[in-house]
A and B are shown apart, each in its own frame.
Chain A
Amino acid sequence: DAGVIQSPRHEVTEMGQEVTLRCKPISGHDYLFWYRQTMMRGLELLIYFNNNVPIDDSGMPEDRFSAKMPNASFSTLKIQPSEPRDSAVYFCASSTPVGSRYEQYFGPGTRLTVT
């Protein structure tokens, strides 16, 4: 399997622009997670889906952030409008239970810089 695929790997944009991050989970995984990582706050869960349905979006910072999962093999995280404080590495991860264990596998991340 190719693992979790994310695009783009790097994104540099100006404040106020719309940013769309994309994720393809591992085939057969029914959970998908979006995280944000910064030096100050560490790894933060933004939102996660089970069977394409959002389960918990309490980590989404504000209305500027939105996420969708139109099908089992694709998800997007959109920031509109972007702000400099959104600069971070955004990870997508997927998992499926093996017995009672939920091991997550991460994509390589998208490094976002908002100027």
Chain B
Amino acid sequence: RKEVEQDPGPFNVPEGATVAFNCTYSNSASQSFFWYRQDCRKEPKLLMSVYSSGNEDGRFTAQLNRASQYISLLIRDSKLSDSATYLCVVNLGRGGGSTLGRLYFGRGTQLTVWP
């Protein structure tokens, strides 16, 4: 079973729409959670960390549900520039033993925002 599962999409939404991505992780010992963004033919870049209480960064809101082992990313008022692949990422932390420091990446969810 994969550590992180995501809906691959694609999601095609008009500008101004609200879109939500979800992912699940398999290891309850996971300690840290992130969303990365990857533009076409570019490297993945950290979009935001996900904290237990949920957190917001402008139009982006990330939420974590430890009981359900579920992470979400909400994008409000979508812009054309939001078109990218969004990667859900977890780290096992000290519970991961020898995997301390390693990140587990989902396959990504592709988003296209159209005018």
A56-B107 CB under 8 A given contacts A101-B32, A101-B91, A105-B46: no
B105–A108 contact, CB under 8 A? no
Q: Is B66 an interface residue (CB 8 A)?
A: no
Q: Is B81 an interface residue (CB 8 A)?
A: no
Considering only residues 78-95 of chain B, those with a C-beta below 8 Å from chain A are 87, 91, 93-94
B46–A103 contact, CB under 8 A? yes
The size of the chain B interface, using a CB distance under 8 A, is 22
B103–A55 contact, CB under 8 A? no
Main secondary structure of the interface of A (DSSP, over half): strand
Please tell me which one of the listed residues B34, B45, B102, B108 contacts residue A106 in the complex, with CB atoms under 8 A apart. B45
B43–A50 contact, CB under 8 A? no
Q: Is B42 an interface residue (CB 8 A)?
A: yes
Q: Is B53 an interface residue (CB 8 A)?
A: no
Please tell me which one of the listed residues A31, A43, A101 contacts residue B49 in the complex, with CB atoms under 8 A apart. A101
Q: Is B98 an interface residue (CB 8 A)?
A: yes
Q: Is A104 an interface residue (CB 8 A)?
A: yes
8 extra interface residue pairs, beta carbon distance < 8 Å, beyond A33-B102, A43-B108, A55-B102: A43-B87, A43-B107, A48-B101, A95-B101, A100-B31, A102-B93, A102-B100, A102-B103
